[in-house]
Amino acid sequence: MNEYGESRPSVEWAVVPSSIGPLLLAATERGLVSVVFHADGPVREKALDGLRTRLGAEPVESASGRLAGAIRELSAYFAGELRDFGLPLDWSLSSGFNRQVLRELAVGVPYGAVVGYGELAARVGRPGAAQAVGAAMGSNPLPVVVACHRVVESGGGLGGFGGGLETKRRLLALEGVHPEPLF
């Protein structure tokens, strides 16, 4: 409880292995709130500090409870057994245009499909805002689950990716969109 008698949100987190490296998952009472790539040492600590600051709660390590479903679904996704996540999501780390774009991505670009930055901008009523869509992808607090790896350049290039281009290639290859590199 804070000084006004309001309960503070609680955040549970865990680092789980995946075929693209360790992922930090965090969830609140509302649902999965954060997925962080390459979650070793300093990356993990920076992510936890960010959650502490932005959510006003002390993250508690726990691989059960709120995160059990997320861990199970992500494991099935990386095993090629799950195409659609059914997790409750907490959108509180995203707002405005970014949230609008991410929600459209979540419902409008299915497994195995890709969309261009400009096309996604047009879908949310902002044609010509491709760069703003790129910024929204870069701020995505729920990568993999809200699949920003499915957003590519209109000319066929990969575009950018917060988890690194190799991670983006591997996620697209997992979904059958982009072949794995030969060497």
Whether the Cβ atoms of residue 20 and residue 171 lie closer than 8 Å to each other: yes
Name the E strands within 62-172: 115-116, 151-152
Cα of 154 vs its chain's centroid, Å? 22
Instruction: Spot the catalytic one: 148, 151, 152, 174.
Output: 148
**SS3 call for 48:** helix
Name the E strands within the chain: 11-16, 23-27, 32-36, 59-61, 115-116, 151-152
Annotated catalytic residue 124 = no
Whether the Cβ atoms of residue 130 and residue 117 lie closer than 8 Å to each other: yes
Whether the Cβ atoms of residue 129 and residue 121 lie closer than 8 Å to each other: yes
Which residues participate in catalysis according to the annotation?
A: 148
